Amino acid sequence: MKISGIGSSLPKKVVTNEMLAEILDTSDEWITTRTGIKERRVLSTEYVLDLAVDAAKKALDDAGMDPKDLDFVICANVVNEYVTPALSCIVKEKIGAKCPCVDLNGACVGFIYACDIAEAYYKIGRVKNVLVVCAEAPAHMLGWHDRTCAVLFGAGSGAAVLTPGDNILATRLTSSDGWDRLYEMHNLQWCPYDLKGPTNLPLVMHGQDVFKFATSTCVNDLKVVLQDAKITADDINTYFIHQANLRIIKYIEQMLGQPTEKFPTNIERYGNTSSASLPILLDEVKKAGGLKEGDLLAFSAFGAGLVSGAMIMKW
Ligand code: COA
């Protein structure tokens, strides 16, 4: 397949490091030097669903596609306002599509998982046009009192319309042991109408273990997909790396021996938006005129599971 349209949507409310330092034992200096994050967006008047629908409509506009021509809607999401139905069912109805829809929880790798599933369905002749929507609000899962996680995440949504093409040159998905390095259990007291605040069960994260997993798997995944696509790291025009920690992105740059200019970031403005991270960044780079037809793009992400994925795509 190929990406024919892309869109993104972010909540209005900005929470800066300084604002967090007023309620937590942390500082702008600590957050900036350890993560690269300066501010993030959090839900206030919006719902995850609103971001998903907004990003989806923008991607459809960008592709010039009538929603009725969609054959499949896939939403990547970890948590939203509804336990059931799937977020994709609501998005499908609100945009006016008439096709099957499904959600997948691929954590921060959801975009690459969704593109790979779209591509697989396309290859067996089941679909032509697929809408992938990644919409996340990780702050729903954490407590604002928990400085180890509260500073890292933000909400956002990114969507892509995939249409027939042979632009996905290689994809790799992995899973490794270590699910208990990053998890959250259901809070059985959940009330879907009261999900705008944090739940009272903590997100459990062993940051250093996740950091080590991320750096090793991303470099390895990228090397494998480069080899599969029969190209080298130098051939890639732009690397889209999951925006979780600037130090992880810098490490990958160094290990691949590639210049910083090839690694756009928006982590400083949005923090870690989970699966939405890659399509939001792609949308921003495209809007800034940073993509030319024929460019070779590399994507790499990692997340809870522990899962990871990488993809090479011709723009
Ligand atoms: N503000 C100030 N201090 C903080 C803090 C915060 N927000 N969070 C943790 N600290 C403290 C710790 O308590 C620790 O204190 P101690 O030395 O007195 O015990 C110290 O800072 C160092 O903590 P450590 O965990 O070693 O920091 P780190 O350099 O590993 O950075 C992360 C922590 C979370 C930023 C980093 O490990 C990371 O980014 N890991 C990957 C996480 C990730 O990507 N998760 C999402 C996956 S999709």
Token pair listed for 241: 């790396």
The torsion defined by the Cα of 309, 239, 206 and 111, in degrees rounded to 10, comes to -40
CB-ligand 1 contact for 178 (6 Å cutoff):
no
First vs last C-alpha separation in the chain: 11
In the prediction, which pLDDT does 203 show? 84
- Whole-number Å distance, alpha carbon 138 to ligand 1 midpoint, is 17
Lowest mean pLDDT among 178-192, 206-220, 284-298: 178-192
Annotated catalytic residues are 108, 242, 272
In the prediction, which pLDDT does 184 show? 83
In the prediction, which pLDDT does 194 show? 52
Cis peptide before 192 (omega within 30 of 0): no
The per-residue pLDDT of the chain, averaged, comes to 94
In the prediction, which pLDDT does 200 show? 57
Given a cut of 90, whether residue 167 has pLDDT beyond it is yes
In the prediction, which pLDDT does 189 show? 56
Whole-number percent of the chain with pLDDT over 90: 87
Token pair listed for 163: 């249409």
In the prediction, which pLDDT does 296 show? 98
Burial 9-27 (b: 16+ CB within 10 A, else e): bbbeeebebeebbeebebe
For the segment 126-137, the average pLDDT, to the nearest whole number, is 97
pLDDT confidence tier of residue 141, bands split at 50, 70 and 90: confident
Given a cut of 50, whether residue 195 has pLDDT beyond it is no
The burial class, CB within 10 Å (0-12 / 13-18 / 19+), for 288 is exposed
Given a cut of 90, whether residue 271 has pLDDT beyond it is yes
For the segment 18-36, the average pLDDT, to the nearest whole number, is 96
CB-ligand 1 contact for 211 (6 Å cutoff):
yes
Whole-number percent of the chain with pLDDT over 70: 95
- Whole-number Å distance, alpha carbon 148 to ligand 1 midpoint, is 6
Three-class secondary structure of residue 97 per DSSP: coil
